[in-house]
A and B are shown apart, each in its own frame.
Chain A
């Protein structure tokens, strides 16, 4: 029982990170109908930015940690908008495949630019412990403040996202563009602004995900985004691509499966089993768990 709870906690914190990344994939898909393959590298840049900024911050303080988190989110927001403006927007009216290939190009560009030793270097660096770190022992259960932090921050960000998307004017405009870009233009919405905002929002979440991941796994390197990015993408598809609650659900599901299989005797197969489940779910629900034609898409 204790072990189960322990694993559940691990699962939640890993799933929360996947969910944060998955939200970016799903939102961009919602408004532009394309998969931003560079998203996983925005996640990496978040961790790298946190690593570089965190060095100049005191360790173990709340304000230092939150500054680091916020700074990484801002850096990623700017990066996301920059990528969209200069790599994707010029291709807005060309076939979607071109944009997709460009996204892969941007992804590789980021990964290998950061491997340059003058930029960051290929060797993993340890992430500064900017947040206060406490470990509690509770009836045999090991609770680390980092894990709670991951779950807490992810929760706060998802609630904030939900608020932005469903309660604000720009969020409603995002949904309007996702539903019918032409009609959105006819009411005076500038689609470029909405798309920019979507990238900013999704990238900020990826940046936060990067920091939280780095806090938990302690190491940062330029290819660190590849696997979590892939899994988050899978999570977005499982949840129903374009669907915000679906992405969160998919993230938690993938995190849970991975953690529990990882903790069993089949641990070497944890990724294989997670992806096999993806295939299984999609066989029975091709549109994803929450993906139906009438659900909210962003």
Chain B
């Protein structure tokens, strides 16, 4: 569904991503792992058009989307839940969700998606009138995911959904991610520092190290790879 070929991105003279290639099959969950500064977030920002690559190619559903602006990428069904959630803090939960559906025109479909999100995250319904900035970290993460789902994505990119969230909520969020994938058939690309958790729910993983792919393989195998264990899984 998504094919990335020899992608490189740089900030001025610094190469943040230096020629990576990977693939996400339709209906799957694929994870990008790696430490701080490995280039994970940069990769996602490039995929969603916030950053322009220096070289390489991004193909989504057979179409070259490498140099499309963000709003056109979203229109094609590729939505991004950014790191740090980035909810619109002064807007209410309802308004945040409405903005997620910015490109949707079918009112009935929007209402239906919204109801679906409320069954997925009942907490959001309780907080519907509250401004997003007053929600807890976990609730904001739910809202960020809900907002992205409002765009009716075929493909969802999640950047560090476990970051800064109470431990008991992390499990809930990951369960929901699996549910979104299974029940709605939305393909997922997950970026995580919590490698254990990410490898548990994904089928395939790529490990980034200073802008390059250090190793990759089925998640089962990666979990037992000695070098990965030492680096990210705590021995």
Contacts and interface: CB of A to CB of B under 8 A. Distances in A.
B227 interface: no
Contact of A186 (B75, B79, B91): B79
Interface residues of B, number: 28
B102 A188 contact: yes
A245 to B, nearest CB: 14
Interface in A10-57: none
B90 A179 contact: yes
A271 interface: no
B53 interface: no
Contacts, number: 73
Interface string B22-62: 00000000000000000000000000111000000000000
A187 B150 CA distance: 9
Contacts of A73: none
Contact of A185 (B49, B88, B91, B151): B49
B100 interface: yes
B74 A186 contact: yes
Interface residues of A, number: 20
Interface string A185-221: 1111110000000000000000000000000000000
Contact of B102 (A179, A182, A187, A297): A187
Nearest to B98: A172
Interface string B71-83: 1001100011010
A182 B71 CA distance: 11
B80 A186 contact: yes
A169 interface: yes
A139 to B, nearest CB: 46
Nearest to A182: B50
A176 B74 contact: no
Contacts of A187: 74, 79, 99-100, 102, 147-148, 150-151
B69 interface: yes
Given A183-B82, A187-B99, A188-B103, A175 B88 contact: yes
A175 B69 CA distance: 20
Interface of B: 48-50, 69-71, 74-75, 79-80, 82, 86-91, 95, 98-100, 102-103, 133, 147-148, 150-151
